[in-house]
Amino acid sequence: MASGASCPARHLLGLGALIVAMADWAGVVCAQEVTVAHGISTFGELKYPADFPHLDYVNPDAPKGGEIAEWAPGGFDSMNPYSVKGRAAALATAPFETILTGVSDEIGSAYCLLCTTLEYPADRSFVIFNLRPEARFSDGSPLTAEDVVFSYETFLAKGLTDFRTVFAQQVQSAEALGPHRVKFTFRPGVPTRDLPQDVGGLPILSKAHYEANNLDLEEQSMTPFLGSGPYMFDRAQGGTSVTWRRNPDYWGAELPINRGRSNFDVIRIEYFGDSAVAFEGFKGGAYTFRNENSSRVWATQYDFPALAAGHVVKQELPSGTKANGQAFMFNLRREKFQDPRVREALALMFNFEWSNETLFYGLYARIHSVWENSWLAATGVPAPEEVALLQPLVDEGLLPATILTDEPVMGPASGATQLDRRNLRRASALLDEAGWLPGDDGIRRNAAGQALTVALLNDDPSFERVMNPYVENLKSLGVDARLESVDQAQMEARTRPPSYDFDMIVSNARSGYISGSELKQYYGSETADVSAFNVMGLKSPAVDRLIDVVMAAKSNDDLTFATRALDRVLRAERFWVPQWYKATHTVAYYDMYEHPETLPPYALGELDFWWFNAEKAAALKAAGALR
């Protein structure tokens, strides 16, 4: 207890945590109330109490064993998932654990994994993690506070540039208070609501292994970093296959949060250069689980013998996750895309309705919002709470007054034919207004005589059937449009910082359910020219201001209205041509895998909490269905 002054006691809101009055670790006069708990929630209470036996959505008695194999496109040349250099192997993050971990049936919570408890004051100005003494890296060496501090300092010095930029503004220090006790102190004046979860979500590397192997987080390397998780690197074959093996001596296997999880002995990823070849590989048993992302394949090609014989299961499973923000993204760093009228005109030429009916067999719904398929998406005219956030930005001239009264920008509706004439007329008028006028050859040029050229950069041959009609429609508008096909290595090099050498690409407008500082990486002006996520290079003072409001929200209602206001402004920026999503998981797998009857709303979880049925696998092999 502190001497002299004391701080008033408060009551805990049902978190099952212990509240103690104690002196601040830096020695301030007044003792602070500190919550000691098994987890932390952004708002409200945690779902799971401290003595929970297992997560509700797992089978705690799921057997261990067997292999699950999936596919990935292209190849890989690195085992380092935290560098923009090289192409990391699939699941290269699998060996790493974090101090805190989220769950798939709850939003805004994080539970102790590498820690037994965490401690934090009401203002969340610092957090202390009490690490589990039994935690071990996969080579058997202990995981300590020194490794945590080393990992933080390494990511701060050598992590992705946008991550470093944001984290340096938020964290003041990280220090080991003992072998299994580590403290993060946050900078005064920054929103701290999410910071305990943020620092608790850092992957923990082995300092000894990193230094002994002269590893460099910024460089590509085929030497895997050492982690503490249930899976460790097994083998890689020439960039065409990578295998991860369950650690039989995994230290955390019996933790309640891990029961019924990490059930496969082996996870194997097979690489294919072409999606059509990959599908043939699945039919032949080269891999055993397929999360189908092609509506055409799903609708027309699941008629092969293994399916007819019942050896393969084709299944649609419910998904409650928000859409992934898939879209054609403009490179706003290029002068021709600076005018929003140009971006609006080009967006009018993508016909989702025709594409969905003709190409996708009606399986998809349109994305309109960065938070599509969630309660966070802006709808209708702004609510009074949204207006209160947007009004100051209008008053300062950062936003047009119409943002206060209009419904949010939606993806344009189109007709049943590929080229919608009404949208073509609207788009033509917009380009005329923007000074891009058609010449004798039909190509639009500006006053300087420069043609309006748009190249859609693509590294997925299967996507050409979607992009080619869009290119044709753009040509009808007078745009010198073309599809530029590249391999995956070229795609990586041209879309990552610092090159950003593209006009338009297919990417994702990222978001979270409880958004925080990651928004600065996705949409912030400060990181726009160094971010691997803000591929469009968005720089908007209004967006920056609203990101700060979202980060500072102190209640779920405040967060919801702030996020909806931000969604309106992001959509009004027209940095994208939104595409589509589906609210189901379309999966096919060889009939030797099982899953809980009710899946959690926010995960399919085939690599997490599904399991292997050895008897079914033996029957498949006896029937010749598997290699």
Convert the pLDDT of each residue in 523-543 to its tens digit. 999 989 998 899 999 999 999
How many CB atoms neighbour CB 206 within 10 A?
25
How far apart, in whole angstroms, are the C-alpha atoms of residue 54 and residue 614?
24
Phi then psi dihedrals of residue 270, to 5 deg: -105, 135
Helix (H, G, I), strand (E, B) or coil at 71: strand
Q: The tokens of 453 are what? A: 């050229």
Largest CA distance in the chain: 86
- Domain with 6 in it: 1-37
Side-chain half-sphere CA neighbours of 337 within 13 A:
24
Percentage of the chain lying above the pLDDT 70 cut: 95
Residue with tokens 């593209």: 502
Query: Which amino acid is located at 332 in the chain?
Result: L
- What is the spatial order of strands in the sheet that 115-121 belongs to? 18-22, 32-37, 115-121, 126-131, 181-186, 171-178
**Residue 182 domain-assigned (yes or no):** no
Whichever domain contains 565, its CATH number is: 3.10.105.10
Q: The tokens of 215 are what? A: 């590893």
Between CA 62 and CA 66, with CA 64 as vertex, the angle to 5 degrees is: 120
**Residue 397 domain-assigned (yes or no):** yes
Give the per-residue pLDDT at 387: 98
Dihedral angle sign, alpha carbons of residues 470, 292, 514, 194: negative
CA separation, residue 148 to residues 34, 176, 251, 257 (Å): 22, 8, 17, 21
Residue 336 makes CB contacts below 8 A (sequence gap 6+) with: 342, 450, 452, 453
- What is the spatial order of strands in the sheet that 312-318 belongs to? 289-291, 584-590, 312-318
User: Please, are residues 68 and 606 in contact by the beta-carbon 8 Å criterion?
Assistant: yes
Give the 3-state DSSP-derived string for 289-346, with helices as H, strands as E and coil as C.
EEECCCHHHHHHCCCCHHHHCCCEEEEEEECCCCCCCEEEEECCCCHHHCCHHHHHHH
Percentage of the chain lying above the pLDDT 90 cut: 88
**Residue 354 domain-assigned (yes or no):** yes
User: Please, are residues 151 and 176 in contact by the beta-carbon 8 Å criterion?
Assistant: no
N-term to C-term CA, the chain? 66
**Residue 565 domain-assigned (yes or no):** yes
Across the range 541-564, mean pLDDT stands at 96
**Residue 586 domain-assigned (yes or no):** no
Report how many domains make up the chain: 2
**Residue 142 domain-assigned (yes or no):** no
pLDDT at 44 over 90: no
Q: What is the length of the chain?
A: 627
The residue from 581, 599, 618 where one domain ends is 581
Burial of 55 (0-12, 13-18, 19+ CB in 10 A): buried
Phi then psi dihedrals of residue 451, to 5 deg: -75, 145
DSSP at 374: S
Q: Considering the chain, what is the average pLDDT of its residues?
A: 93
User: Please, are residues 136 and 228 in contact by the beta-carbon 8 Å criterion?
Assistant: yes
**Residue 7 domain-assigned (yes or no):** yes
**Residue 497 domain-assigned (yes or no):** yes
Going by pLDDT thresholds of 50, 70 and 90, the confidence category of residue 5 is very low
How far apart, in whole angstroms, are the C-alpha atoms of residue 562 and residue 275?
40
Phi then psi dihedrals of residue 362, to 5 deg: 70, 20
How far apart, in whole angstroms, are the C-alpha atoms of residue 240 and residue 624?
25
Nearest to 517 by CA among 480, 487, 554, 551: 551
Give the residues across from 268 on adjacent strands.
69, 243
Query: Which amino acid is located at 605 in the chain?
Result: G
Residue with tokens 């560098």: 83
Give the per-residue pLDDT at 160: 80
Q: The tokens of 176 are what? A: 């080991």
Going by pLDDT thresholds of 50, 70 and 90, the confidence category of residue 72 is very high
Residue with tokens 């033509």: 428
The residue from 581, 607, 622 where one domain ends is 581
Give the per-residue pLDDT at 103: 97
Task: Write 399-406 long-range contacts (CB < 8 A, 24+).
Answer: 399/542, 399/569, 399/572, 403/568, 403/569, 403/572, 405/381, 406/381
Going by pLDDT thresholds of 50, 70 and 90, the confidence category of residue 4 is very low
Phi-psi region for residue 193, left (φ > 0), alpha (ψ -120 to 50) or beta?
A: alpha
How far apart, in whole angstroms, are the C-alpha atoms of residue 611 and residue 604?
13
How far apart, in whole angstroms, are the C-alpha atoms of residue 562 and residue 547?
8
pLDDT at 484 over 90: yes
Give per-residue pLDDT as tens, 123-180.
Answer: 999 999 999 999 999 999 999 999 999 999 999 999 888 778 888 899 999 999 999 9
How many CB atoms neighbour CB 380 within 10 A?
9
Give the 3-state DSSP-derived string for 256-292, with helices as H, strands as E and coil as C.
HHHCCCCCCCEEEEEEECCHHHHHHHHHCCCCCEEEC
Give the per-residue pLDDT at 22: 35
Rg for the chain (alpha carbons), in Å? 26
Give per-residue pLDDT as tens, 344-361.
Answer: 999 999 999 999 999 999
Give the per-residue pLDDT at 141: 98
